[in-house]
Amino acid sequence: MTQHSKIATVLKFCMAALAVSGPLAASAGQQDAAKPTRYITQTDRLIVRYKDAVDTSRLKAPAAVPANALSAARQAVIDRAGQQFGMTLRTLRATATGANVLQLSRTMSLAEARQLAAELKARDASVDYAEPDRIMTAMAVPNDPSYSQQWDLYEAAGGINVTGAWDRSTGSGINVAVIDTGYRPHADLSGQILQGYDFIASTSIANDGNGRDSDASDPGDWTPAGSCSAGVPGQDQASSWHGTHVAGTIAARTNNGAGIAGIAYNAKIVPARVLGRCGGYTSDIADAIVWASGGSVNGVPANANKARVLNLSLGGSGSCDTTTQNAINGARSRGAVVVVAAGNSNVDAANSSPANCAGVIAVAAVGRSGGKASYSNYGSVVDVAAPGGDNGAGILSTLNSGTSTPAADSYAYYMGTSMATPHVAGVAALMLAANPNLTPDQVEATLKSTARAFPAACNGCGAGIVDAQAAVNAALAGTGSPTPAPAPAVTWTSCAPEGGTCSFSGTREVRYGANNSFVTKVVTGSTACTNAVFGDPIPNVVKSCSYSSATVEAPAPVTWTACANEGGTCSFSGTREVRYGANNSFVSRVFTGSAACSNATFGDPLPNVVKACSYSSATR
């Protein structure tokens, strides 16, 4: 069999046990030194969600809800914000959670994009959040392993002890979503792949000549040098077939006398294609998370094969995006376990997204010795570790031999936290097959409580190395962490028909709509029950308002402190909104530490009028 040798730069997953009729020959050679992951630090998109947006991921009939159309007033605000940065912005599409994806007229750095997002939010109080549509990448660097043995499933030091779990669970009845580059048909994955979806909207990234469609197969992600951004990649890159490698680790056919063995070999794979040439946009990845877990995405057919486990062997630098966190929250609410690679840059994973998002199982990588892999990220956000390979011992899984477009089936050794992640996803599938009633929190707690101690140094690698046998036994015994007491159920009290006034005590959520389709806002005391206040979630249908039984904390009022006259310097602590103008007409922008109080910085909101600056009481 043809063997490729690569260390995964995309956050990739590792492979399963070896079950072959003959030996698999590994390429012998010296491992290349691990290279730091090169992140894409530019974008040409922004994600903006308004407070009156409809979260279509929770609707039963998303096709009936139109894509978000921007009012002329909102578009005017967007235009003015763009003018501050010498660009125009247009609406591209809506996300499943109700945000708008805006196309920028030029590519800008992430730092500039964050300033543009802050500018837009400062100008429009109806903006819930605005953030760059960051590009995530798979995480891998080249490697030439010298070992042909499959150690990651059974060896005492660095393996996951899966053979002891197989007599109790093989993953039957569980679907695992591989949110990645798509898949290639492969003899060792025959019958294992369910209907998926291609979420890549950009044809330049998709590499298949079209945008979103129901074909989740991988056409190849080969990338010429410098085609993603300046110096990225540094040289031509061959197609990775990353999603196919991850899928094989989780669910390759087993006991078929050929190839390798998957960890949860009776589970099925639901491929969601989000990564192509240069990576993939956050907005596409978030929609895939929603869809794979059984949520609704506008314009995308419903997923008939809801996944209980989501594998994300991908990531980028920076904090967790609100767009991604909202998608993860929705997936967890639908019972999905979200497993994410910690990253391959040998840094604290607190700055690696989506590993730093709340509610995920973040996975570090160990080598064959059971110690931390040299490239693996670490830190307090990491939950557990699993085999990812190091020092010439990689993870063998299914692949394709094509260097650009698809060719023949093959197998290859990869290394990376991308390889470690599917080990954990596979074990989660074994656990859920053994006990389908486990919640995402119980799966995570059980993986941690049954993980075995590290036999070698692995600081910041979580609770230990995942132990498949112990985790499945605990799942069957119901010895996972007890389910926390549920929060009191929120009830809704009808308060006004459309056109009336809804009154109540304190600060509460008020919902407006009908037929289980609502827009919600947080209001204190009373509100008019009208389209003018809430927008129109269901045109041509009579609506009404109701308020929640739970009160919420009202936001603290923002006060402004005068800090400089026009031509001076406004200084303050932390990061704050600074406004510039006079006579209740202001331009606002977000700064850290200080800002020049001038037309050059803010533009001129009131020509021929002396202006001044003040900063907000709220830090950001």
Pick the CATH number of 3-38+137-223+236-477 from 1.10.10.60, 3.40.50.200, 3.40.50.1100, 3.40.50.20: 3.40.50.200
User: Each residue of 285-295: pLDDT tens digit?
Assistant: 999 999 999 99
Instruction: Give which of 116, 307, 122 is closest to 216, Cα–Cα.
Output: 307
Per mean pLDDT, which range of 33-47, 346-360, 430-444 is the poorest? 33-47
| Catalytic positions | 180, 242, 418
Residue linked to tokens 């400089």: 564
> Is the Cβ–Cβ distance between 139 and 315 less than 8 Å?
yes
What CA–CA distances, in Å, run from 143 to 6, 147, 419?
5, 12, 14
At residue 57, the pLDDT reads: 73
How much of the chain, in percent, has pLDDT values that exceed 90? Answer: 56
Tokens for 121?
Answer: 């939010």
Average pLDDT of the chain, as a whole number: 84
Alpha-carbon distances, residue 602 vs 117, 521, 614 (angstroms): 15, 31, 13
Q: Which pLDDT does position 555 carry in this prediction?
A: 53
pLDDT band at 59 (very low <50, low <70, confident <90, very high): low
Instruction: Quote the tokens at residue 595.
Output: 């800002």
pLDDT for the residue numbered 579: 84
- The rounded distance, in Å, linking the Cα atoms of 75 and 35 is 44
Cα-based torsion angle of the residue sequence 55, 42, 32, 263 in order, rounded to the nearest 10 degrees:
10
- Asked whether the domain spanning 42-133 has the same topology as the one spanning 3-38+137-223+236-477, the reply is no
Which tens digits make up the pLDDT trace of 217-243?
A: 999 999 999 988 888 888 999 999 999
Per-residue pLDDT reduced to its tens digit, 77-104: 899 999 989 889 988 888 888 899 999 9
Range 426-434 average pLDDT:
97
Q: Residue 18: what pLDDT? A: 22
Return the higher-pLDDT residue of 606 and 260: 260
Better-scored residue on pLDDT, 142 or 553: 553
Q: Could you tell me which residues are beta bridge partners of residue 213?
A: 198
525-540 per-position pLDDT tens digit: 899 999 888 777 677 8
Domains of the chain, by residue range, sit at: 3-38+137-223+236-477, 42-133, 492-551, 560-619
Give the integer Cα–Cα distance in Å for 534 and 505.
20
Per-residue model confidence (pLDDT) at position 34: 32
Q: Is a pLDDT exceeding 80 seen at residue 503?
A: yes
Q: Is the pLDDT of residue 108 over 70?
A: yes
Answer whether residue 122 shows pLDDT above 60. yes
CA nearest to 131, candidates 147, 143, 115 = 115
Task: Select, from the ranges 32-46, 296-310, 563-577, the one with the highest average predicted confidence (pLDDT).
Answer: 296-310
Mean of the pLDDT values across residues 491-496?
Answer: 90
If we measure between CA atoms, which residue out of 25, 121, 111, 131 comes closest to residue 77?
121
Q: Quick one: pLDDT at residue 306?
A: 97
Closest CA to 595 of 620, 555, 557, 563: 563
Q: Does the pTM exceed 0.85? A: no
Q: What is the pLDDT of residue 480?
A: 45
User: How far is Cα 331 from Cα 286, in angstroms, rounded to an integer?
Assistant: 10
More confident site: 504 or 536 = 504
The alpha carbon torsion through 88, 90, 92, 96 (nearest 10 deg) reads 110
Residue 361, H or E segment: strand 361-366
CATH class of segment(s) 42-133: alpha beta
Q: Find the helix or strand (DSSP H, E) in which 426 lies.
A: helix 417-434
Return the pLDDT at 482: 44
In degrees and rounded to multiples of 5, residue 282 shows phi and psi of -55, -40
